[in-house]
Amino acid sequence: MVEVKNLSFSYRKGTRVIDSVSVKIEKGEFVTILGHNGSGKSTLAKLLVGLLKADSGEIYLDGRILNEDTVDELRGKIGIVFQNPDNQFVGVTVRDDIAFGLENRCYPREEMLRLIDEYSRLVNMEKFLEYNPENLSGGEKQRVAIAGILAYNPDIIIFDEATSMLDPKGVREVNEVMSQLRGKKTIIQITHNLNEAIASDRVLVMKDGKIILNDVPEKVFREKETLKASRLDILDCMKLIEMIEATQGLKNKKELEEFLWELTFRK
Amino acid sequence: MNTNPVFGQYYHADSWLHRLDPRTKILGTIIIIISLFLLNNLAVIVGAFGATLVLILSSKIPFTKFLRSLKMMTTLLLITVVFQLFFNRGKILAEFDFTLTTVNLAIGIAILVLFFFSRKIITKHRFFLFLALLVFCFYLQTVVKSGKALANYSLAIYEEGLYTSLKVVLRIITLLLISSLLTLTTKPADINTGMERLAKPLKYIGVKVSILSMMISIALRFIPTLINEAGRILKAQASRGVDFKEGKFMQKVTQIISLLVPMFVISYRRAYELADAMEARGYVPDAERTSISLLKYRARDYLTLLFVILLFSAIIALKVSDYAI
Ligand SMILES: Nc1ncnc2c1ncn2[C@@H]1O[C@H](COP(=O)(O)OP(=O)(O)OP(=O)(O)O)[C@@H](O)[C@H]1O
Ligand SMILES: [Mg+2]
């Protein structure tokens, strides 16, 4: 369980990147955070894993407050997959990379080998254990990153645009792993793609460091104006509905053609 | 599977050398290299070279893999040979009289021009071709005496020079082979772990060994990535019209800057993100941590080390008692 109370943060004095955010995420929930570039999603994620220290407000993980004294211990409860597959691959081989988090927590070697075996299988990377990152695709590297986090068994996993640098195949592979984890782990997915949010239990929309919407996807997607105001692209199906509504006022074929023409090239 | 050009020559095979503990191999290599520098008798050095060839044979690694590291050093080796051959005085072994005649000069210039124009046809091993042609030109000067003589000179090869150059070259080659044997039979990560364990006593003089070894392993991890990245940037800049092949000095400087600036920016960002990723996965600098790599001394390690140390002691003992080895 994650509980954030009145959290504020700024990199430089004066501009609040996170502005009095309060939110509660239940155990086992799958939550998507949406927001335009620079809305503060990654900053919030870094605050949650203790990479940044809040100016004010509190974060509770499983009821325990996150601060300088508890951060080393609470990091075992939470893991984060970042956007760039290359910049989070620490090991020289897949095996070493999955081991990294375990080595840091002083797991004995036998235990490490067992966990590496188990979790490399779970993400379908068991045949690549001796590979170097140079010989892996982006999707494969992200799956290794996931295995490296799962191995030390945190309750909460944050995916910060983990698929945005991948090709379609990589996106599919990572999403598959993510859906396997559903219900077993608390998942916080960060994206600016609304289509990726449909399947989640709850959607949070961020704008200028504030959470402006916090509801089930069906309700959030109905807030067309708010979504547009936070510069988010709306869902494809919503676009279709909008289009059909707009055509009501058209009188003849020529106007319809004109309208479709504009629609296609407006973007 | 490994594209790391610096440490990543590792070649997978199943031999006793592959199975040795990396610490044994690192220590052994260091001791052997020191011993090589102590040896000064051609016969003994030839023996050491032969022993190295036997070691290579027992490593089950194809010899061509070793040639790669030798190839990089050929220029250095050749320069050494020439230097040692002509700058050591002593008993004359052979003397050559050269006469530079107009005919010789003309042939020489013709060969040079041909060499220049052959650059489109013969693209490989041009350096060796050049050397061969150079030797041929000098050879001509000893046989062709027709035409007007422009200069007369002679070169002598001394026994001393021949011996010294043979010794130096064999020593360098053996040294290269022995160190390649280490990097070819040991995974980079194992070399790193081995060095870390060996360096552990350094912590008593205040060196943070765990941080040092983390730095080495991150370097190992990112060198190939950075090289790939440099390749990508070169291509990107070339597509923007930067020509890396031609240009005067100032243009060269601009070209290098156009590579270095993006490299620096990207690397900085990479380091920043990597540090976050490491911290998020629980890394605390200099804190206690376990290791996935298992290093274990076995009987064969003790035997190997014992053998190497005995050999080394023998060399020292013989040296001290003035034997010419
Ligand atoms: N290290 C930093 N130092 C200073 N300012 C930063 C830093 N990182 C982010 N910012 C600023 O903080 C704001 C929020 O950034 P953040 O990365 O949290 O946004 P985001 O929602 O994750 O965006 P994106 O969708 O592009 O990932 C941005 O205006 C950004 O310029
Ligand atoms: Mg972000």
Contacts of B282 (CB under 8 A, 6+ apart): A72, A75, A76, A101, A104, A105, A152
CA distance B175 to B52: 9
Q: What ligand 1 atom has the least distance to the C-alpha of A44?
A: 18
| Distance of CA A238 from the midpoint of ligand 2 (Å) | 25
Mutate to test the pocket of ligand 1, among A7, A9, A11, A16 (most ligand atoms within 8 A of CB): A11
pLDDT at B2 over 70: no
Q: Work out the end-to-end distance of chain A between its first and last CA atoms, rounded to an integer number of angstroms.
A: 40
Q: Ligand 1: which residue has its CA nearest to atom 13? A: A38
pLDDT at A105 over 90: yes
Interface touch B289/A134, C-beta < 8 Å: no
Q: Which of A44-53, A184-193, B150-159, B174-183 is least confident?
A: B150-159
| Distance of CA B117 from the midpoint of ligand 2 (Å) | 57
- For domain A2-232, give the CATH superfamily: P-loop containing nucleotide triphosphate hydrolases (3.40.50.300)
The interface pTM score, or ipTM, of the predicted complex is 0.87
Looking at residue A96, its pLDDT comes to 92
Looking at residue B1, its pLDDT comes to 40
The enclosing H or E element of B277 equals helix B249-280
The reply to whether ligand 1 has any atom less than 6 angstroms from the CB of A77 is no
Task: Enumerate the residues of chain A whose CB falls inside 8 A of the CB of residue B287.
Answer: 104
Confidence class of residue A226 from pLDDT cuts 50, 70 and 90? confident
Mutate: best of B193, B272, B290, partner A, most A CBs <10 A:
B290
Per-residue model confidence as pLDDT tens digits over A83-97: 999 999 999 889 999
Greatest mean pLDDT range, A40-49, A231-240, B217-226: A40-49
| CB neighbours of residue A127 within 10 Å | 10
Domain ranges of chain B: 10-185+295-325, 187-294
Using CA atoms of A227, A230, A231, A236 in order, give the dihedral in degrees to the nearest 10: -20
Confidence class of residue B308 from pLDDT cuts 50, 70 and 90? very high
For a pLDDT cut of 70, what percent of chain A falls above it?
92
**pTM (two decimals):** 0.76
Mutate: best of A82, A104, A120, A152, partner B, most B CBs <10 A:
A104
Domain ranges of chain A: 2-232, 235-266
Confidence class of residue A155 from pLDDT cuts 50, 70 and 90? very high
pLDDT at A243 over 90: no
CA distance A238 to A221: 8
Q: What ligand 1 atom has the least distance to the C-alpha of B272?
A: 1
Looking at residue A260, its pLDDT comes to 74
Confidence class of residue B8 from pLDDT cuts 50, 70 and 90? low
